[in-house]
């Protein structure tokens, strides 16, 4: 989670990430507005930046793609602390202040993610109608629905609320149970696992997994193992490797 206060005027320094300082690096003109990407360091930590005219960055596809391209380039050789999109400092001096004010935190987090990548793992119900699937899978919900519709009448507001609450309770209970089962398998190949909020009703889990770079094949095998007990009503998919966005915590004041 990153909290950013933006304040810049004129030509600023757009920040992509923080890495261990290994002397000045130049990554070429792969930054926002095709600007050259380079580092500003203090001997221990360096900010990966490019020059940017103006004080506002629009979240346009090309800008976000350039931001990700820089992170992808960094990930070839190391694991950076990725900055939130839109982080802009006034000048080189402002970058130096950020490094000084946050050096110990940056060093601790760089040590935490060194040699690691982030993988995403999702599990969903692969069914046409999630409510009808739950009715067929849970006798409690089926009995309640049949009782309410016994006479073919339109449901009262209280009945609709009760039916909805029962469905939501069973949904959350199954999500928790299934996520616990999957995590028990995945923990063997992950340094850390973070549960992110489900984005749709059919989503069961949305995990961010921090793993060693060398363990990507092992991670894929673990996903297959975790999926094996579930039938065709469930779907698994994973993505990555990414910079460890979900495992970086920075509160940068500009």
Count how many domains the chain has: 2
Task: Please indicate, yes or no, whether residues 242 and 122 belong to a single structural domain of this protein.
Answer: yes
- Distance (Å, whole) CA 80 – CA 137: 45
How do the pLDDT tens digits run along the chain, 254 residues long? Answer: 444 334 333 479 999 999 999 999 999 999 999 999 999 999 999 999 999 887 678 888 999 999 999 999 999 999 999 999 999 999 999 999 999 999 999 999 999 999 999 999 999 999 999 999 999 999 999 999 888 887 667 778 888 899 999 999 999 999 999 999 999 999 999 999 999 999 999 999 999 999 999 999 999 999 999 999 999 999 999 999 999 999 998 877 66
Nearest to 88 by CA among 6, 181, 9: 6
Q: Which domain holds residue 122?
A: 117-246
Dmax over CA atoms of the chain, in Å, equals 78
Q: How far is CA 115 from CA 54, 136, 139, 212, in A?
A: 35, 46, 48, 6
**Who contacts 22 (Cβ-Cβ below 8 Å, separation ≥6)?**
41, 46
Of 114, 130, 158, the residue that ends a domain is 114
Task: Please indicate, yes or no, whether residues 27 and 145 belong to a single structural domain of this protein.
Answer: no
Of 114, 130, 164, the residue that ends a domain is 114
Count of residues in the chain? 254
Task: Please indicate, yes or no, whether residues 42 and 146 belong to a single structural domain of this protein.
Answer: no
Task: Please indicate, yes or no, whether residues 97 and 143 belong to a single structural domain of this protein.
Answer: no
């Amino acid at each position: 989670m990153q909290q950013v206060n933006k304040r810049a005027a004129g030509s600023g320094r757009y920040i992509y990430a923080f890495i261990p300082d290994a002397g000045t690096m130049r990554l070429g003109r792969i930054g926002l507005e095709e600007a050259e990407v380079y580092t500003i360091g203090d001997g221990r930590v360096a900010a990966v930046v490019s020059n940017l005219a103006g004080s506002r960055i629009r979240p346009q596809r090309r800008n976000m793609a350039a931001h990700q391209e820089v992170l992808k380039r960094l990930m070839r050789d190391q694991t950076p602390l990725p900055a939130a999109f839109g982080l802009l400092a006034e000048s080189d001096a402002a970058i130096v202040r950020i490094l000084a004010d946050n050096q110990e935190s940056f060093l601790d987090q760089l040590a935490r993610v060194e040699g690691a990548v982030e993988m995403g793992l999702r599990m969903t119900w692969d069914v046409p109608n999630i409510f009808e699937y739950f009715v067929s899978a849970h006798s409690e919900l089926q009995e309640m629905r049949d009782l309410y519709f016994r006479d073919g009448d339109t449901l009262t507001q209280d009945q609709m609320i009760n039916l909805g609450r029962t469905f939501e309770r069973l949904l959350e209970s199954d999500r928790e149970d299934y996520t616990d089962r999957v995590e028990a398998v995945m923990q063997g190949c992950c340094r850390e696992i973070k549960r992110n909020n489900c984005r749709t009703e059919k989503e069961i889990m949305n995990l961010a997994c921090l793993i060693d770079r060398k363990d990507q094949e092992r991670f894929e095998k673990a996903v297959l193992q975790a999926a094996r007990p579930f039938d065709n009503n469930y779907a698994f998919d994973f993505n990555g490797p990414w910079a460890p966005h979900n495992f970086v915590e920075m509160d940068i004041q500009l």
